[in-house]
Amino acid sequence: ATLGTAADFKGIILSQTLISLNTGAVMNGRALAQTAVTLDATAITVP
């Protein structure tokens, strides 16, 4: 799963593989993956 540049996401992402959040993406929730979660200048807020 990938959140693109300047994406605004609310919720939970569950992935068996990689989750990637690109520059400027904002997430209010959780990103859970079995392999990796990659953050590139990203803000994540846990509710």
Q: What is the pLDDT of residues 13-39, one digit of tens each?
A: 999 999 999 999 999 999 999 999 999
Confidence of residue 42 (pLDDT cuts 50, 70, 90): confident
Q: Is the dihedral of CA 10, 29, 32, 14 positive or negative?
A: negative
Please name the helix (run of DSSP H) or strand (run of DSSP E) that holds residue 20, with its range, or none: strand 19-21
Among 27, 32, 33, smallest CA distance to 47 is for: 27
Whole-model pTM: value is: 0.81
Spell out the domain ranges in the chain. 2-45
Q: What is the pLDDT of residue 2?
A: 93
